[in-house]
Amino acid sequence: MTLRLAVVLLLLFASCASGADQFVVREIRISGLRRTRAWVVERELQFAAGDSVTSADLSAARRRIQNLSLFSDVRLSGDSSGVISVDLSELWPIIPFLWMDFTEGQITDVLRHPDTFFDKVTLYAGALHLNIAGSGARIYALGQFGAADGFELGFRTRWLSARWPLSLLLEIENQRVSDRHSAILDSARSLRIARYEMDVATREGAPSRLGLLVKYQGVRQEKEWPAQGRHDVTAWFSPYVALDRRDLEWYPARGALVSARTDVVTGSTFFVRSSCDLRGYFPLREGARPPLLALRFAAATSSNATPSWAHYYHGFNSGLRGYSTARSESAGFQTGGAELRFPLTRETTYDLRWLGRYGRRLPWGVSGVLSVERGELLLDGRRLERLGFAAGLLLRFPYVEILEISAAADRHGNVEYLVNSGVHF
């Protein structure tokens, strides 16, 4: 089953679309920019005056600009004289951030036992600037409280400058979290994690890209069974490659993604991990927002020396649908999933006049989603099979882009309710 799914996704790269209505670009007019520099938009067009383009090229350029998440609305059109018009509505660049995440369990568990709120829930508070100096670079500061406490600071670009087509990510994290491996062994233990990370790639979000993640990670465990105060100091070297043919990163309607990564980790312990991710998106009719079938296959493995804190975890706020309360980990896994996504309303825009130019043409739309996901988790020669189902709503908002509200069930009929930002894949 998983092999057939992987083959289907790889075959997507053999297909391409072309338009017959070709014309020559005479002039490009960009309006609506107050903070963002023109080169940030121009690089997404991937054509200039004198080039021949089609309506498909214009549609692809519009969605590349949408991918930046700097604009609430993007309107791009061309006329018979060869004039390309790009009309943009910028978002307010500073976003206060307040979020709640269930690290363990779900909302019904907290309602039954309110005294366990801070054992199961992590609160996030901070701020994000999504357009530093008009370059599209982001800087953020985030505090965590509750089930996990600590802080995270980060800076990232999609492209360093008009002259330097490289992306850069810098992150610092220091936090205390519960050790899920000890929870699986029915023991309570916490980890103190310090992480310093730098990621350089040919460009974040580019159709084809190479990258290298270099990371220092220190993990200090409490002096309790089964770790007995173990302290690991590690350096990670993680090259990766991605072939991205999706039309939109945060809500793709067509195309495919193939990515692979290897982690070579050295220091007080040495181990190697590898993973791959294949995704394909099949529109069921033509149009900008068609119903679609989304497919995914993902797999990973790790060497025998991999410590428990570096295993792959499943459930909680990440993992298979229907199993967020399940405590499990794996040294390797295979998962396959399918989602049917379909619009329930027209995607439209509205104005908030009291926000001025930052409240123009804010997006809104509702879609439905039905999904099924199957996984095989491997640990110490044991195989654990899982099968989950979900149904829910996908809400389009500015800044968040997509908010998912869904109900999920495991193979035994146990139901849980989930709220996540972004699509599952």
Under the banding of pLDDT at 50, 70 and 90, the label for residue 18 is very low
Residue 171: what pLDDT? Answer: 97
Residue 228, C-beta contacts closer than 8 angstroms, at least 6 positions apart:
none
Residues 210, 102 share a domain: yes
Better pLDDT: 313 or 406: 406
Residues 221, 184 share a domain: yes
- Is residue 369 assigned to a domain? no
- Is residue 421 assigned to a domain? no
Query: Of the candidates 181, 207, 234, which is a domain's last residue?
Result: 234
- Is residue 192 assigned to a domain? yes
Contact (Cβ atoms closer than 8 angstroms) between residue 57 and residue 51: no
Residues 75, 96 share a domain: no
Instruction: Dump pLDDT digits (tens) for 86-114.
Output: 999 999 999 998 887 776 666 666 777 78
Residue 101: what pLDDT? Answer: 75
Residue 8 sits in which domain range?
Answer: 2-13+20-90
Under the banding of pLDDT at 50, 70 and 90, the label for residue 177 is confident
Under the banding of pLDDT at 50, 70 and 90, the label for residue 16 is very low
Better pLDDT: 404 or 100: 404
Residue 315: what pLDDT? Answer: 61
Residues 68, 114 share a domain: no
Residue 129: what pLDDT? Answer: 97
- Is residue 317 assigned to a domain? no
Query: Of the candidates 90, 105, 133, which is a domain's last residue?
Result: 90
Residue 114: what pLDDT? Answer: 80
Domain CATH number, residue 83: 3.10.20.310
Residue 221: what pLDDT? Answer: 79
Residues 78, 61 share a domain: yes
Main-chain dihedrals φ then ψ at residue 14, nearest 5 degrees: -85, -10
- Is residue 212 assigned to a domain? yes
Domain count, the chain: 2
Instruction: Dump pLDDT digits (tens) for 41-72.
Output: 999 999 999 999 998 899 999 999 999 999 99
Residues 106, 45 share a domain: no
Residues 192, 84 share a domain: no
- Is residue 392 assigned to a domain? no
Return the closest-CA partner of residue 147 out of 173, 120, 124, 125: 120
- Is residue 398 assigned to a domain? no
Residues 222, 97 share a domain: yes
Residues 114, 36 share a domain: no
3-state secondary structure 89-100: EECCCEEEEEEE
Residue 191: what pLDDT? Answer: 82
Residue 69: what pLDDT? Answer: 93
Rounded to an integer, the average pLDDT of 230-251 is 93
User: Rounded to an integer, what distance in angstroms lies between the CA atom of residue 376 and that of residue 386?
Assistant: 6
- Is residue 318 assigned to a domain? no
Residues 114, 149 share a domain: yes
Residues 156, 105 share a domain: yes
Residues 99, 54 share a domain: no
Query: Of the candidates 38, 69, 90, which is a domain's last residue?
Result: 90
